[in-house]
Amino acid sequence: MTKLFNVETKIFWGVATVCLLPFILLAFLNSMALDDYFFYELYRAKPFFGVQHDLYLTWAGRYTSAFITGVFIVPDAPGRFTFLPTLIYFVLTWSVIRHLLKRIGTVFPEQLSDSKVPGFVLFILFLYVQADIATGFYWLSAVTVYQTAFILFLLLLASLVSMLNRPRLKVSGYLFLSLLVLLIVGCNEIMAVFLPLFLASLAAGFYFYGRPVPRWLWLILGIAIGMDLIIFFTSGVMTYRYREMNAGTGMIAILGSIVFRGAAVFFYIFKEPLFWVCAAAIFASGLGVPADLNMAKVFREKNVIFWGMLALLLVVLLSLTVFLLASRGSMPPRVLNNLSDVTACLLLALCFLAGIFQGGRSRVARMVQMVPERRVKLAVFVICLLASVNYAEAWKSVASGYFYHAVMMDRDRVLKNAAAEHRRVAVIRSYDAALRDRIDRAFPHGVFTTVHALLVQKPSLLFFYDGAGAGDRAYAHFYGLDSIIVRDK
């Protein structure tokens, strides 16, 4: 993998900066939204662990994400530094990807000696394949629920990879694996369903290669299933939340939704040119694994690509089936973020294993010698990093997000001044009127129609929320007001 990702470093990092720049800028144009204000109201009314208790019993049993949300809310981090949660999760995601690659490098040292470049490429890939980037990184209440789960899942994969070189597992290893499983299950419902299915398919993989299933795998599978049952019977996921979110969809429509959502998961992955380049590079890296390596001997016994992809497809569809049946068809797009990220990661892993298997055949092994020249590789990665609809949408969102952020900041000052003057009711202009005013002030002599159309649209990669226009009482209470009156003029 090092050879395939070995490019002109200085030029690559220059392009990488350009690639990442709009997503960093969006973090500074972000604003709180919806549930963020609701959580502020909860934590102002009750102590930290009192809120954890209430959220567990009346919502979805998301003890991990609820705890992390509270860690951000209590010190008023999103209120004072709206960019902070996004940047923290960017760093955490990139760091854990590099950690996973380093663990792979300990098992296959000749294939991966440096994790910087491949780590960045995979970070961008996992960003691009998300079904809803706005909730994936730019809405705190969703980020802590779904991105936390993906980060923990990558940590779990890193731990599983490191065990390939360990004949026996120490007690600390059992405890760490158990803790990771407990934390992942407590993030959100889709991962709580996906995880035991993934672990069961992993156990089936041991049987596929004729190896006994290790005790640690039975242990964490049992913990995952046990915690699912505990959350199911003790939290509010099937009582209060089920009644609140029930869409009342018929069974036939639900079955259609399962197929549609399953196809959507793979569509979000396969539509990205970067995925195909990464898959090809990782497959070629598998071809170059030395034949005398112990793990290579195992993976060259059978070709796992067909059965592995079939198992992954079944795991995704079964996860969606359980979720959609329980919620009667109610599934916001952000739920697919976890499935698209995790599925992309596992598909790349299958490509690597398929490469190892094919590397045992002399006519295919020669392909590993056909490593493109550094500039060719650089050109391919540059094109694929920038050739994404999401990258174009990021720059569009920066343009429209600038004015969205300006309107939100103007409102913030007005509402804080009203609270400082001990008024219980504040009067503000509607979002559309305030936006028009902001654009007119920035361009007093007018602007081209096409540019104006871009500036007035809602930023697609930010979670747009007009709390005053929606009549959100938690939004008013955040500023210490009873209500907010919205007027067009």
> What's the pLDDT band for 91 if we cut at 50, 70, 90?
very high
DSSP category for residue 226: H
Percentage with pLDDT > 90 across the chain: 28
- Residues β-bridged to residue 425: 483
The Cα–Cα gap between 280 and 286 comes to 10
Q: Which of 57-61, 65-69, 167-171, 281-285 has the weakest average pLDDT?
A: 167-171
User: Is the pLDDT at 207 greater than 60, yes or no?
Assistant: yes
> What's the pLDDT band for 153 if we cut at 50, 70, 90?
very high
Instruction: Tell me what pLDDT residue 344 has.
Output: 95
Q: pLDDT of 258-286, one tens digit each?
A: 888 989 999 999 999 999 988 988 888 88
Closest to 334 (Cα-Cα) out of 152, 96, 148? 148
Q: pLDDT of 64-89, one tens digit each?
A: 999 999 999 999 888 888 899 999 99
Q: pLDDT of 391-424, one tens digit each?
A: 999 999 998 888 898 888 988 898 888 888 888 8
* Residue 366: other Cβ atoms inside 10 A: 10
User: Is the pLDDT at 365 greater than 80, yes or no?
Assistant: no
Instruction: Tell me what pLDDT residue 360 has.
Output: 56
Instruction: Tell me what pLDDT residue 166 has.
Output: 67
The Cα–Cα gap between 233 and 221 comes to 19
Closest to 426 (Cα-Cα) out of 437, 408, 413? 413
**Residue that is written with structure tokens 């030029």 in the block:** 11
Q: Which residue has the higher pLDDT, 346 or 2?
A: 346
Q: Say if CB 61 and CB 235 are below 8 A apart.
A: yes
User: Is the pLDDT at 154 greater than 70, yes or no?
Assistant: yes
Which ranges constitute the DSSP H helices of 74-170?
77-80, 84-107, 116-128, 133-137, 140-142, 148-162
> What's the pLDDT band for 437 if we cut at 50, 70, 90?
confident
Instruction: Tell me what pLDDT residue 2 has.
Output: 47
Q: pLDDT of 220-264, one tens digit each?
A: 999 999 998 888 888 766 566 555 555 555 667 778 888 889 899
Out of 279-293, 317-331, 339-353, 454-468, the most confident range is 339-353
Averaged pLDDT, 107-136: 83
User: Is the pLDDT at 206 greater than 70, yes or no?
Assistant: yes
The Cα–Cα gap between 44 and 59 comes to 19
The residue type of 336 is L
pTM: 0.89
Closest to 103 (Cα-Cα) out of 179, 181, 167, 156? 156
